[in-house]
Amino acid sequence: MDKLTSIRVFLQVARSGSFSAAAQQLRISKAMASKHVSSLERQLGVRLFNRTTRHLSLTDTGLNYRDRVQGIMEELEETELSTAKLSAEPTGTLRIMAPTSFGSFHLTRAVAEYRRIYPRVSIDLIFASRTPDFINEGLDLAIQTGELKDSNLVARKLAQSRQVVCGAPDYLARHGIPERPADLERHNCLLFTPRSPAGVWTFSGPDGVYTQRVQGDVSANTGDALRIAAIEGCGLIQLPTYILGLDIKAGKLKVLLEQFEPPARPIYAIYLHRAYLSAKVSTFVEFLYQLYQPIPYWERWTGE
């Protein structure tokens, strides 16, 4: 068996913790994955895994071997990928999952611009605010906001998004401008139910991040619905700038309590692994990175 392929299979088994999961991710049979690892063990003359009917773990030798070959294989794969990219034109269908609001406001626009450059790529967009299941949903790429939880995924940071409190000029003229988070108790606050179902907003102060209870008579599970309600003067909202930035720039909404803003949330492009990364994925991720750097357009109302 080809030794490089066997090493790749070994690394995937080590990452996945099972032959079944590794085989599924590599699109080979479980038996073939086992054969590759056994072949590698015979060539090295060592046992790389402790195997039982219920458990699989790396031996000390396996741990040492994994640590040594992982960096070498990543460099080799990146070299092969960069070489292949020189002659590979992106083609095929690119299946992407993104949060509903970010997808509607920004990803659709980016897709249109990307396809003017790469017309042979078809795009299949899935807008959902759930954890992406790359294998079962056949995803090539996902956009995720906030800190990442799955360390097995490869991530590239695309941008930062601030979380701001806003109100329409008409609402503020009628109800006044809050000077500190505690003042929100006297205001009608519109609630984004996926993030603050109990009426809790997050802020930063001298002692770090803290929460402020708020209440209001309008709630919704999409940011766009609350954005429209706020523009119509229904109350105050706390949402990401990628939802509100263009309305702030247009003067439809005014930013409040800027000195109490919580830490900005990162926006990532995530995918399964560097190995065999297709041109359609790599070019789209690079396109998004260039589009949103150094300051994303939804933040350019700040004058920074």
CATH number of the domain encompassing residue 217: 3.40.190.10
Judging by beta carbons within 10 Å of its beta carbon (0-12, 13-18, 19+), is residue 231 exposed, middle or buried? Answer: buried
pLDDT of residue 7: 93
222 assigned to some structural domain = yes
Q: Specify whether 204 is located in the same domain as 248.
A: yes
pLDDT of residue 74: 83
Could you tell me which of 251, 238, 247, 240 has the C-alpha nearest to residue 196?
238
C-alpha to C-alpha distance for 8 and 157, rounded to whole angstroms: 26
Q: Are 178 and 164 within 8 A, CB to CB?
A: no
301 assigned to some structural domain = no
DSSP secondary structure string for all residues of 214-265: ---S-EESSHHHHHHHHHTTS-BEEEEHHHHHHHHHTTSSEEE-GGGPPPPE
Q: Specify whether 132 is located in the same domain as 276.
A: yes
Q: Specify whether 147 is located in the same domain as 281.
A: yes
C-alpha to C-alpha distance for 237 and 154, rounded to whole angstroms: 33
C-alpha to C-alpha distance for 209 and 203, rounded to whole angstroms: 6
Q: Are 117 and 89 within 8 A, CB to CB?
A: no
Q: Specify whether 244 is located in the same domain as 272.
A: no
Q: Specify whether 167 is located in the same domain as 220.
A: yes
Q: Specify whether 154 is located in the same domain as 170.
A: no
Q: Which domain holds residue 28?
A: 3-85
135 assigned to some structural domain = yes
Q: Specify whether 144 is located in the same domain as 169.
A: no
Number of domains in the chain: 3
Q: Could you give the strand order of the β-sheet that contains 254-256, starting from the edge strand earlier in sequence?
A: 237-240, 163-167, 254-256
Q: What backbone phi and psi angles, to 5 degrees, belong to 208?
A: 110, -160
pLDDT of residue 83: 66
CA-to-CA dists, residue 40 to 15, 139, 205, 246, 259, angstroms: 17, 31, 55, 56, 58
C-alpha to C-alpha distance for 6 and 37, rounded to whole angstroms: 6
300 assigned to some structural domain = no
Q: Specify whether 171 is located in the same domain as 250.
A: yes
Q: Are 107 and 296 within 8 A, CB to CB?
A: no
65 assigned to some structural domain = yes
Residue type, 63: L
pLDDT of residue 304: 44
Q: What backbone phi and psi angles, to 5 degrees, belong to 84?
A: -65, -35
Using the Cα atoms of residue 134, residue 137, residue 143 and residue 146 in order, give the sign of their dihedral.
Answer: negative
304 assigned to some structural domain = no
pLDDT of residue 148: 81
pLDDT of residue 146: 85
The angle that helices 3-16 and 19-26 make with each other, rounded to 10 degrees, is 120
What pTM did the predictor assign? Answer: 0.67
Q: Specify whether 188 is located in the same domain as 252.
A: yes
239 assigned to some structural domain = yes
Over its length of 304 residues, how does the chain's per-residue pLDDT go in tens digits? Answer: 788 899 999 999 999 999 999 999 999 999 999 999 999 999 999 999 998 877 899 999 999 999 999 889 888 877 777 666 654 678 899 999 999 999 999 999 999 999 999 999 999 999 998 888 898 899 999 999 988 876 678 899 999 989 999 999 999 999 999 999 999 999 999 998 876 667 899 999 888 899 999 999 999 988 999 999 999 999 999 999 999 999 999 999 999 999 999 888 999 999 987 666 888 999 999 999 999 999 898 988 754 4
Could you tell me the CATH number of the domain that includes residue 11?
1.10.10.10
pLDDT of residue 26: 92
- Residue 112's contacts (CB-CB under 8 Å, 6 or more residues apart) are none
